[in-house]
Amino acid sequence: MSYPNSDGPVDTVADTVDDHAPVLVVKNLTTTFATPRGPLTAVDDVSFTLRRGTALGIVGESGSGKSVTARSVMRLLPKSNVTTTGEVSINGIDMMALGPKELRAMWGPEVAMVFQDPLGSLNPVMRIGDQVAEGLRIHHNVSRKEARAAALQLLRQVGIPSPQTRLDEYPHQLSGGMRQRVVIAIALSCGPKLLIADEPTTALDVTVQAQILDLLSDQQTERHMPLVLITHDLGVVAGRTQEVIVMYAGRIMERARTPVLFRDMKMPYTEALFRSIPKVEYPSHTRLAIIPGRPPTMVEPIRGCRFAPRCRYAQDRCLEEEPELTPAVDRDHVYRCFYPVGTPEGEQALEINRSNGRLTPEGELIGVS
Ligand SMILES: Nc1ncnc2c1ncn2[C@@H]1O[C@H](COP(=O)(O)OP(=O)(O)OP(=O)(O)O)[C@@H](O)[C@H]1O
Ligand code: SF4
Ligand SMILES: [Mg+2]
């Protein structure tokens, strides 16, 4: 899979980012599940702002809290075993204050989501046309005929071949990529002012993945629609987003404008994710670098930096203290690390770990798998 250059034209857009009004404001968002093993804090004090017309990437390994962040923002989590605190506002509307009826009115026209399991979110016994038209009929009170015409137009926009025929087909008659396009058409049907796409290309082959991501980016640009793009693959956000949040164990570890992150990442965790990006020049059988070790369970209390057991740079201090989010030279760049990548402190930490036998001479962790 090829990735667009992170130093592409989005840099220019990012330069105007401050002129854009905030669409999504998240402050101190914390979501905790009651589990048989105790409270599990899946999202821990997360704050960020998304501005009009821009795309924000949320990147992290499996279990880092990306989907729970999205579902907390949407207010889609069941009340029974979940506590969510903090602030979420979408275009000035306080999501935390809304009741079920008001939330249903938000989902579609104000904010829409492409789910991580999009195929599962299609109704297998409902025709494609009816599924795409459903939101329009609910929110815009249009006739069946008008909704069908709008559904046809949407299927065209998302690149479905023979859209007229597809209107009367069922999900099982479509390929995975086509079904994914239908899911995106449904999300776009009410003209959302904000779109959240949670791993929108899981389970698709690499060529189709790139097409779907390009479709989302095109729609985002054409509609001047803010987009939150969630992925475990740092490569996906390059060239497709203006800003990136890197999450680990429920926390924001680093946040920066996308080109800045790729040029000047400070977090060892971001560096580890970067090392695991598939590179086109590698032969297909090449084993990708994976990050050794496992993330914490988030049930047991965590002391020190959450990434310490897996970090090539970790020193004694990291086991005792958790770093605060610290601003870097770039105005929008923050990170949490005592020994940042590419700094004299970071280089010294690597040297110490090489000499004390924690790292191989090539700088790989020893004894963590
Ligand atoms: N309903 C739930 N009950 C208890 N724990 C949950 C629930 N949903 C998620 N979690 C836990 O919250 C943490 C974050 O999960 P989340 O789904 O947000 O991860 P993710 O970053 O989206 O990962 P992936 O890339 O695998 O989708 C995980 O430890 C997960 O096990
Ligand atoms: S604070 Fe320490 S353990 Fe955490 S990422 Fe930085 S160097 Fe690694
Ligand atoms: Mg997820």
Token couple for 365: 């962790």
Where is average pLDDT lowest: 10-19, 268-277, 336-345?
Answer: 10-19
187-191, 278-282, 348-352: which has the minimum mean pLDDT? Answer: 278-282
The H-or-E segment that residue 334 falls in is strand 334-335
Residue 146 identity? E
Residues with CB under 5 Å of ion ligand 3 are 66-67, 116
As to burial, measured by CB atoms within 10 angstroms (0-12 exposed, 13-18 middle, 19+ buried), residue 175 is: exposed
- Examine the pLDDT at 57 and tell me if it is beyond 50: yes
In 3D space, the residue among 188, 226, 225, 190 whose CA is nearest the CA of residue 48 turns out to be 226
**Pocket probe mutation, ligand 1, options 30, 31, 32, 33, max atoms within 8 Å of Cβ:** 33
Task: Provide the 8-state DSSP code for 288.
Answer: P
Q: Residue 284 above 70 pLDDT?
A: no
For the Cβ of 4 lying below 6 angstroms from any atom of ligand 1, the answer is no
Tokens representing 343 are: 């700094």
pLDDT given at position 202: 77
Residue 7: per-residue pLDDT: 38
Q: What is the mean pLDDT of the chain?
A: 89
Per-residue pLDDT, 79: 84
Mutate to test the pocket of ligand 2, among 247, 315, 338 (most ligand atoms within 8 A of CB): 338
Q: What is the DSSP letter of 81?
A: T
104-113, 285-294, 325-334: range with highest mean pLDDT: 104-113
Residue 5: pLDDT band with limits 50, 70, 90? very low
Q: What is the pLDDT of residue 43?
A: 98
CA distance linking residue 340 with residue 349, whole number of Å: 9
Using H for helix, E for strand and C for coil, what is the string for 220-273?
HHHCCCCEEEEECCHHHHCCCCCEEEEEECCEEEEEEEHHHHHHHCCCHHHHHH
Place of tokens 């990548």: 341
What pLDDT shows up at residue 35?
Answer: 95
Give the mean model confidence (pLDDT) for residues 102-125: 89
- Predicted local distance difference test score (pLDDT) of residue 280: 52
Q: Which two tokens stand for residue 327?
A: 């601003």
Residue 92 has pLDDT above 70, yes or no: yes
Percent of the chain with pLDDT over 90: 70
DSSP state of 46: E
DSSP secondary structure letters along 137-179? HHHH---HHHHHHHHHHHHHHTT-SSHHHHTT--GGGS-HHHH
The reported pLDDT for the residue numbered 16 is: 45
How does pLDDT run across 228-277, given as a tens digit for each residue? 999 998 989 998 999 999 999 999 999 999 999 999 999 999 999 998 77
pLDDT reading at 282 higher than 50: no
Confidence of residue 2 (pLDDT cuts 50, 70, 90): very low
Domain parsing of the chain, residue ranges: 1-99+195-203+219-359, 111-191
335 lines ligand 2 (CB under 6 A): no
In this prediction, residue 252 carries a pLDDT of: 98
Average pLDDT over residues 336-351: 97
- In CATH, what number does 1-99+195-203+219-359 get? 3.40.50.300
What is the pLDDT, as a whole number, of residue 11? 38
Whole-number Å distance between alpha carbons of 272 and 269 = 5
Distance in angstroms (rounded) separating the CA atoms of residues 80 and 146? 39
Q: How does residue 291 score in pLDDT terms, banded at 50, 70 and 90?
A: confident
Contact 177, 208 (CB under 8 A): yes
Mean pLDDT across 63-86: 95
pLDDT digits (tens, 9 = 90+) for 156-177: 999 999 999 999 999 999 988 8
Q: Which atom of ligand 2 is nearest to the CA of 318?
A: 2
For residue 352, pLDDT beyond 60: yes
Residue nearest to atom 20 of ligand 1 (CA): 63
